[in-house]
A and B are shown apart, each in its own frame.
Chain A
Amino acid sequence: MEKQIKELFVDVSELEAPKPFEEVIQLLKQVKSGEYIRMRHRKKPLPLFQFLQENGFDSCILESASSGNAVFWEIIIWIKDDKPVHDYCTRTF
């Protein structure tokens, strides 16, 4: 089962606001069951989390490699009702 789980990756860490938001919205419109999104960002974008909460997504956020002063975040997003992906993500991240 889990082999089929696919990651969609997007790096928005070098984009100015609100491009990161726009990019991930594009991906959210495409994401299918069996898929999750991994987004690399330099901020914890609260408006995005609000949007995810209100639209049936689940997410978690991890601190990813930081270089010098810069901290990067990885935001994992999946469709809440997609049980296998949900289980996979909660276990893995």
Chain B
Amino acid sequence: MNTKGLSLNTIPPVSIPLRFFLTAPLFGVLAAMMVLYFGQDIWGSRWQARSLALTHLLTIGFMLMVMIGALYQFIPVMIGQLIPGGRKRVAIVHLFLVFGSLSLMSAFLIQETILFQLALISLAVSVFLFALSLLPLLITQLNDHLIVYLIRILFCVLIVTIGLGLFMLLAYAYPNLIINYREYTDIHASWGLIGWVVILIMAVSSQVIPMFFVTPDFSVKYLKILSLLIVLTLAMMSLMALTKIDIQAILNLLLSIELSFFTIYTLQLINQRKRKIPDITVSFWRVSLFSLMISIVYWWLLVLGTNSELIPLKWSSQSEFTLGLLLIYGLAISAIIGMLQKIVPFLLYLNLQNLSFKHPDSMSAEPKLVLNMKQIITNQQSKVQFVLHISSYLLLLISIYWVKFTWLAGLVVLINFSWLFITLLRGFILFSKKRKAILMHPEMKMEFTFNK
């Protein structure tokens, strides 16, 4: 490969991805406040508006928010081009996503039609604009980079998830349309929680795990086949559910095998780390993958238990909340927090490094102006984050069954997301100070030939 002639643009300006990363934890904080406000009433039924509000604070406000930011960061590093659209478009995507998530939450809580309409419009604008920016890259990037392939799949999955979400929202926003939307809820939820979350974790893991933990690379072939199989299985399941043809059991089995394969394969790759430097962020990944494994087992126990007296588990509101928590807080949010601990310091480091070359005198300054990653988010901070995350996760699970723990769970969730916000913000402040200091040095072209 020759890189001549190709103008590379691999390092996005910090402000583009970081605004998403800094906003996301605040939605986590809002979610925690909701738990604190409603207390044990939060665990009523999944159909209550407040659980829908809570779900989407986390899935849109936190998860989708981070995903969009991460794509703005990953795509340039992986393919050498920024996502087109410029800063203005990023600002619109971000603002409308923030506004849309807030309106959706308030709409569910207050049940005001106008709020549903606002949510519908803002979320549609945000997602549509982002998709529009991404689309040209997905069509024209003909190289077979794994990440491009997975993002293409992710794109389709997100269209189904969000398409159905917006469609259901239409029913809420315009009640006189009389749309029978409830038959789509489970399809929307499974495309979101299984399709989108799992493939997102696949895409992120395939880049982040080998890069930061020095494991063998993921097999491109496995991941390509696996992601396609998962989507096809989900598509079949949805068709079956809508047409009421019953081969659901076979499809469930197939999906479980696909998901288990991914989990075991990834855990086994993580265990093959070449340099076993203690790094707590690996544990976030393990928690995430174990959560998926436990969800699969738990789900089967529920299915089998409903048909047999031998297994005491039955479907109930509690079991539905448990599954939701395992997938949203356990699988998705654990991996996302783990990922942020790596990619944010990496982004800030690369930017400082790059800037310091343009201001070469800054390189000799003491103390060093280019921070290393561990200075941006320290090991100690990551450890605290891990303890907070695990304890909030366990407390949430416990509080579904012993509701008097709900308040404590909410409190620790609040601290968990606040800690995430504070560490990211502190990293950014440190970065800004160093950046300013580097900019004090004159800009010139670095003379690498000076040794001639």
* A interface residues with partner B (beta carbon < 8 Å): 14-18, 21-22, 25, 28-33, 42-44, 46-47, 49-61, 68-71, 79, 81-82
Contacts and interface: CB of A to CB of B under 8 A. Distances in A.
A79 B448 CA distance: 8
Given A18-B349, A50-B8, A50-B10, A55 B357 contact: yes
A7 B78 CA distance: 28
B446 interface: yes
Interface in B38-93: 77-80
A33 B449 contact: yes
Interface stretch (B103-111, B173-181, B213-221): B213-221
Contacts of B10: 46-47, 49-50
Nearest to B363: A29
A90 B77 CA distance: 26
Interface string B274-301: 1101000000000000000000000000
B248 interface: no
A42 B3 contact: no
Interface string B409-452: 00000000000000000000000000000000000011011011
Contacts of A71: 217
A92 to B, nearest CB: 14
Contact of B354 (A16, A51, A79): A51
B77 A47 contact: yes
B349 A46 contact: no
A47 B11 contact: yes
21 contacts: A14-B275, A18-B349, A21-B350, A33-B452, A42-B210, A43-B210, A46-B79, A46-B80, A50-B10, A51-B354, A55-B448, A56-B445, A56-B446, A56-B448, A56-B449, A61-B1, A61-B2, A68-B216, A71-B217, A79-B448, A81-B449
B319 interface: no
Contacts of A25: 353
A49 B217 CA distance: 21
A82 B274 CA distance: 37
B248 to A, nearest CB: 36
Contact of A42 (B1, B77, B217, B445): B217
A1 B449 CA distance: 19
B7 interface: yes
A70 B452 contact: no
Interface in B233-288: 274-275, 277
Given A14-B214, A17-B211, A18-B373, A51 B357 contact: yes
B357 A44 contact: no
What is the predominant secondary structure among interface residues of chain B facing chain A?
loop
Contacts of B9: 50
Contacts of B99: none
Interface string B360-390: 0000000000001100000000000000000
Nearest to A21: B353
Interface in B339-367: 346, 349-350, 353-354, 357
B212 interface: yes
A49 to B, nearest CB: 5
Contacts of A68: 216
A79 B449 contact: yes
Nearest to B275: A14
Contact of A33 (B1, B2, B372, B451): B451
Closest 10 CB pairs of A and B: A50-B8, A32-B451, A33-B452, A47-B10, A49-B3, A17-B211, A46-B10, A46-B80, A50-B10, A16-B214
Contacts of A18: 346, 349-350, 353, 373
A29 B452 CA distance: 12
Contacts of B452: 32-33, 79, 82
A29 B79 CA distance: 27
A16 B8 contact: no
Given A47-B77, A50-B8, A51-B357, A69 B219 contact: yes
Contacts of A49: 3, 8, 10, 80
A41 to B, nearest CB: 11
Nearest to B219: A69
Among the interface residues B8, B78, B445, which one has the most CB atoms of the partner chain A within 10 A?
A: B8
Contacts of B373: 18
Interface centre among A29, A30, A31, by most chain B C-beta atoms within 10 angstroms, is A29
B217 A82 contact: no
A51 B352 CA distance: 13
Contacts of B274: 14
Contact of B350 (A14, A47, A56, A61): A47
